Structure 1
């Protein structure tokens, strides 16, 4: 898809999102702005409580053409605590906590992801793993760490090359290939009983996107109907 058409589709999605916010009474308590970039919804603003934000995420994720929902919404006046894993030289938002194995101007915490994530249990609202897990021979321990540090209702955002696109194999530091179907496995309990609930799992021509909730207090495992929305 060329950039001009992608831009037009983003503007169309913004119109649809504006109509949704205007006419859906379930979202009337929200004071948010929605911008689209490459099919990803970027949401900023405020919500009175977590249930309102959860409804917004679910509603936007149901719109055709939406690849992911990345929000930075203040809930009940509090700013979210967001971690960028393997941030390198650029974080997804300036206020995120950047974590990387090497120091740099955007890195707030220096740590090797293979050794774990140095945050307390249920201390984080969102985790971004953008072009990270394809570099790890075994990424399941890292996802277990994300599950541990996320609060109930928190979201893990994963972005990784789609296995059939040249970007997946062009970088020799990529050691794992992933597909949308890879995340079906993660939405089943592992040996420790951990699993993820899929908010949105999809792809475009080059990239796989996954927005996942940790299954813990208040969030149960996905049923077959939910799994069928995203997976074969």
Structure 2
């Protein structure tokens, strides 16, 4: 039996793809009059779009996120944009000594130079309801036997319109099994269940983006209110089988 797997892109291909994405975004920004007045910088790094700058209101940020995410080759849209003069609160989960961006609030179970507060990510997070704009869970979920309680805590702490950024090894890549501390295997389809198949009353998520590059999976999720309907099948079909 032959098993076909998706190969991870080389560093050179990722560099070339980043160049293509930068050119495509610059062309779109020049020709879309909605984007011209917005002071948002978009930088591409290994297929991930990094947004920074400032907008007047959340609708402008949603517009930029959506348009960037439509570009072929974008794996995720990571955002640190000031909205209405308020600097976003960004939390790095399990950051250790290295945060995704300087200035993020770092939470980890062990003290380290980048950790602002020691917290067990399998339990309650020391964060108030509706207090966080962005969570990073980069190479964290694969270390938790049950990561749904952590997602529920992120849902609780995120402000409306906030985003949870996830990055984890793809289950078919050697990185997923090479680390003996990995206890879970994930696929893009895992997030289909998180967004569309949770039991009634459980916190629900809307997928802003989900992708795989052959080595890692990426997901950008925003919380849905408890009374909101689940994401429509037409939207889920954009990312999931």
TM over 0.5: yes
Contact map agreement 1:133 1:160 (CA 8 A) in 2:
yes
Match of 1:212 in 2: 221
Secondary structure at the residue paired with 1:32? Answer: strand
Secondary structure at the residue paired with 1:80? Answer: coil
Q: Could you list the structure 1 runs, at least 4 aligned residues long, displaced by more than 6 angstroms after superposition.
A: none
User: Structure 2: where are the runs of 5+ without partners?
Assistant: 1-8
Task: Supply the distance in 2 between the matched residues of 1:219 and 1:83 (Cα, whole angstroms).
Answer: 25
Structure 1 length normalisation: TM-score? 0.96
2:199 matches 1:190: yes
User: Structure 1: where are the runs of 5+ without partners?
Assistant: none
Task: Supply the distance in 2 between the matched residues of 1:217 and 1:101 (Cα, whole angstroms).
Answer: 30
Task: Supply the distance in 1 between the matched residues of 2:92 and 2:199 (Cα, whole angstroms).
Answer: 24
Q: 2:141 aligns with which of 114, 133, 158?
A: 133
Could you say what the CA RMSD is over the residues aligned between the two structures, in angstroms?
Answer: 1.4
Match of 1:39 in 2: 47
Render the CA deviation track for 1:109-133: whole Å, top value 9, x for unaligned. Answer: 1111112211001100010000001
Matches within 5 A, 1:114-153: 114-153=122-161
Task: Supply the distance in 2 between the matched residues of 1:21 and 1:150 (Cα, whole angstroms).
Answer: 29
2:228 matches 1:228: no
Render the CA deviation track for 1:27-70: whole Å, top value 9, x for unaligned. Answer: 23310111111000011111110110011111111110000001
Task: Supply the distance in 1 between the matched residues of 2:200 and 2:174 (Cα, whole angstroms).
Answer: 34
2:162 matches 1:174: no
Secondary structure at the residue paired with 1:145? Answer: helix
Cα displacement (A) at 1:206: 0.3
2:49 matches 1:49: no
Task: Supply the distance in 2 between the matched residues of 1:210 and 1:56 (Cα, whole angstroms).
Answer: 17
Cα displacement (A) at 1:2: 2.2
Contact map agreement 1:29 1:52 (CA 8 A) in 2:
no
Cα displacement (A) at 1:96: 0.6
Task: Supply the distance in 2 between the matched residues of 1:194 and 1:7 (Cα, whole angstroms).
Answer: 37
Match of 1:98 in 2: 106
Contact map agreement 2:203 2:226 (CA 8 A) in 1:
no
Count how many residue pairs are aligned between Structure 1 and Structure 2: 232
